Amino acid sequence: MKPTGWTRQIHRWLSIVFTVAVLINIAAMALGVEAVWVGVLALVPLILLMLTGLYLFALPYAARWRGRRQASWQE
């Protein structure tokens, strides 16, 4: 599998982990549990989601840039 495929798969699983973490956070708030780790629980997958999402967002632009660069080099 290409690195892009792995990144997409990791991004999909991270979205599931993030959703579960947010649900746990909501349940803890409803029960009145005041713990810092519950709030941080959703931040870890969110940061990883941001990184993988930015990478996937930039892929088409990087491919276009590489295509133009190779075309100008061959001329």
pLDDT in tens, 2-40: 777 899 999 999 999 999 999 999 999 899 888 888 888
Instruction: List Cα–Cα distances, 53 to 14, 42, 49, 66, in angstroms.
Output: 10, 16, 6, 20
pLDDT, tens only, 34-59: 888 888 889 999 999 999 999 999 99
Query: Which of the four pLDDT bands, split at 50, 70 and 90, describes residue 74?
Result: low
- What is the predicted pLDDT for the residue at 73? 53
Q: pTM of this prediction?
A: 0.75
**What are the boundaries of each domain within the chain?**
3-68
